[in-house]
Chains A and B, each alone.
Chain A
């Protein structure tokens, strides 16, 4: 497919659920996946049975099922966000060092994380605002960012003040260096790497309109059918 200057695939920006559905469709069948706390958790609602995805939760489980309700709630069975969850047939439990070895050893195919900022070369900032009075808490963010084969970020493109979260260099403290491979936002899907930023598709704007919002040079890649 030839390089296009207009890669718009939706007439309007995507809502949180539409974006989650798009991420879910992009996950290859059979993958082992960790979904971060917050918006990435929505992705699990759109994974199909045919995809045969195994979800990892870093507190020590593969084969995590949906959130538990009512009688299913068991205080010994929670996810990384400390929400009660269920186990699927074929699930496994392991201790924390094994669970992080699954990430750190490069065994996870994809992790999906939220972000404050992503840089043009895939640096990630998602754990700390850097505010002097903030109590820092990192959890597994740095391990996830560094260990998974692919790191997808889900975020709104702009802050409430209209500033781009895709930036030349992160101003917030880093979680990982050059680790993000894709950024899913309400306005576009970006591919990041050492060669800069490509736009796979846009939602509700043209590439030119997108470029006006984002302070890093963008280039189009051929739209990928999903």
Chain B
């Protein structure tokens, strides 16, 4: 069921404490700042957040972490020059970190959306990030057992939606949007523009509307 929602506050109102929330974006590109701000205002807490990073500066995901709403981060690259809110929480032992190689992060999200129970990959073999994981020699390469990452909700940013929920993105802001939309039980997309049915060339649709539940236009 697809809903067009008037405000970001209403769009995130049903996100419950303890949820696993995927948040699109790589750095600031594609990060749905308005939805994240609304999630902060909603008061939802004890969240597990899946994102490539762990927030930059004093905005978006960084503020969610600063305010203590995030119990656990699943990400590939938390440490940046301006990731001070994550750094503080991590050093104080107030946030859990599951560090995942970036390609494993993407593939585990994709696998969740595609109904794949698990997969083997050479990435990470022989490293501390594969410690304790099952390994197998497949096609002449040692490979590591990895499981999908599912989520209750995905918050993503796209350029345009049509009235069927089909999405197109802009340049490298696409990043995690399409795979998170498929992996979450409930996907909320903020878009810059909502266009009529037929206004998007079907050949160019990136995320089919079947993966999208709520759309909110953000100026």
Contacts and interface: CB of A to CB of B under 8 A. Distances in A.
Nearest to A141: B101
Give the interface residue-count category, chain A: 35 or more
B172 A142 contact: no
Contacts of B169: 93
Interface in B29-56: 29-30, 52
B102 A138 contact: yes
Contacts of B187: none
Contact of A97 (B91, B127, B179): B179
Given A76-B29, A95-B175, A142 B123 contact: yes
A94 interface: yes
A146 B77 contact: no
A137 B76 contact: yes
Interface in B96-150: 97, 99-107, 109-110, 121-129, 142
Contacts of B76: 137-140
A107 interface: no
A76 B172 contact: yes
A104 B172 contact: no
A99 to B, nearest CB: 7
Given A75-B29, A76-B172, A176-B126, A95 B177 contact: yes
Given A75-B29, A87-B171, A93-B171, A142 B107 contact: no
Interface in B6-30: 26-30
A96 B91 CA distance: 29
Contacts of B106: 95-97, 99-100
A137 B99 contact: yes
B99 A136 contact: yes
Interface of A: 57-61, 74-78, 82, 87, 93-97, 99-101, 103-104, 123, 128, 133-143, 146-147, 173-177
Given A75-B173, A76-B29, A137-B77, 9 more contacts: A59-B29, A87-B171, A95-B178, A96-B179, A100-B107, A142-B124, A143-B102, A146-B122, A176-B126
